[in-house]
Amino acid sequence: MKIIRDPKRMQAQAAAWRAEGKRIGLVPTMGYLHAGHLSLVRLAAARADVVVVSIFVNPTQFGPREDLNRYPRDFVRDRSNCRGAGVDAIFYPAAAAMYPPDYSVYVNEERLSAGLCGARRPGHFRGVCTVVAKLFNLVSPHVAVFGEKDAQQLRVLRRMTRDLNFPIEIVAGPIAREPDGLALSSRNTYLTPAQRRAAPELRRALEETAARYSAGERSAARLRAALRRRLARIPGARVDYVELVDDATLRPVRRVEKPALVALAVWFGKTRLIDNLRLGG
């Protein structure tokens, strides 16, 4: 397994693979890999000859008061996990190599990123789109895999890929969960034991919303209100947002008649967790 730090070397390696006719799969990550990331690696491996995992805690997608500095890092463990998963190369650039001092170009998605996490984290998707556009040009993948946990990110990046005409197939990986239902996230490591015990309630609350939908409830306001009440009962939880949005446009819906996304972000102390569920279709 190659460890590539220099962007120019990554680009040269990608060109060499392409010249050999190899299909390249990319799994962009911020490291601190868990079973969710490794499930994305398997999806990439099934669709490509070589798999690159990028590990980069991207500063441009963090707000000034967010957790950039405390974001968990463990390259030795990540390397071992990647080796075990049959990854061909880790692209592990330094921040200064990705963003020189006079860096000045950003990619903005202006519609799908307006609500949900985008409304709560100004500039977040600008940073995400920018770094992923850079990774696409550095790794030159045929296929790139992103997780459904970051539902808005997945849709924003599909749109970016379409609108900027990147010749890349975007594959979505289903949310990986702990046995008790908590969605896997590198940020789960921040949780205190009490918060960790409470956090699986997010998933149960979403399942209750799905049950209400299955029982015939189609009013977004009623589904949302019930979910919000349910979340309010979780010890130590503070709702950041709860939304029912159209699955394609991410705009709030009044009635769930087309596929919809129930998306939530909840604070446990200083830790913000997200989860989501699709309804219909």
Distance set, CA 214 to CA 190, 211, 244, 250 (Å) = 34, 5, 15, 21
Q: Say how far apart CA 271 and CA 113 lie, in whole Å.
A: 22
Residues 208 to 227 in contact with a copy of itself, rule: CB under 8 A = none
Q: Say how far apart CA 40 and CA 125 lie, in whole Å.
A: 21
- Is residue 251 close enough to count as binding a copy of itself by CB under 8 A? no
Nearer to a copy of itself, 62 or 166 (CB): 166
- Is residue 134 close enough to count as binding a copy of itself by CB under 8 A? yes
Residues β-bridged to residue 202? none
Among the residue ranges 54-62, 162-170, 199-207, 268-276, the one whose residues contact a copy of itself (CB under 8 A):
162-170
Near a copy of itself by CB under 8 A: residue from 20, 65, 102, 270: 102
Which residue do the tokens 């556009």 mark? 133
- Is residue 50 close enough to count as binding a copy of itself by CB under 8 A? no
- Is residue 7 close enough to count as binding a copy of itself by CB under 8 A? yes
177 touches 276 (CB < 8 A): no
Q: How far is the CB of 14 from a copy of itself (least distance, A)?
A: 8
Nearer to a copy of itself, 239 or 248 (CB): 248
- Is residue 239 close enough to count as binding a copy of itself by CB under 8 A? no
Among the residue ranges 10-18, 64-72, 197-205, 208-216, the one whose residues contact a copy of itself (CB under 8 A):
10-18
Q: How far is the CB of 178 from a copy of itself (least distance, A)?
A: 35
138 touches 24 (CB < 8 A): no
Q: How far is the CB of 102 from a copy of itself (least distance, A)?
A: 7
Q: Say how far apart CA 228 and CA 223 lie, in whole Å.
A: 9
- Is residue 69 close enough to count as binding a copy of itself by CB under 8 A? no
Q: Say how far apart CA 118 and CA 112 lie, in whole Å.
A: 8
- Is residue 103 close enough to count as binding a copy of itself by CB under 8 A? yes
- Is residue 1 close enough to count as binding a copy of itself by CB under 8 A? no
Catalytic residue, candidates 34, 37, 124, 142: 37
- Is residue 263 close enough to count as binding a copy of itself by CB under 8 A? no
Task: Supply angle C-alpha 58, 138, 186, rounded to 5.
Answer: 30
Residues β-bridged to residue 278? 261
Which residue do the tokens 């005409």 mark? 165
| Tally of CB atoms within 10 A around 96 | 9
Q: Would you say the C-alpha torsion 89, 95, 100, 102 has a positive or negative sign?
A: positive
Among the residue ranges 57-65, 106-114, 215-223, 262-270, the one whose residues contact a copy of itself (CB under 8 A):
106-114
Q: Is 34 among the catalytic positions?
A: no
The DSSP output letter for 249 is T
Residue 131 host element (H or E) = helix 124-139
- Is residue 160 close enough to count as binding a copy of itself by CB under 8 A? yes
* Residues forming the site for a copy of itself (CB under 8 A): 7, 11, 15, 18, 102-112, 129-130, 133-134, 137-138, 140, 159-160, 163-167, 249
Please list the active-site residues.
37
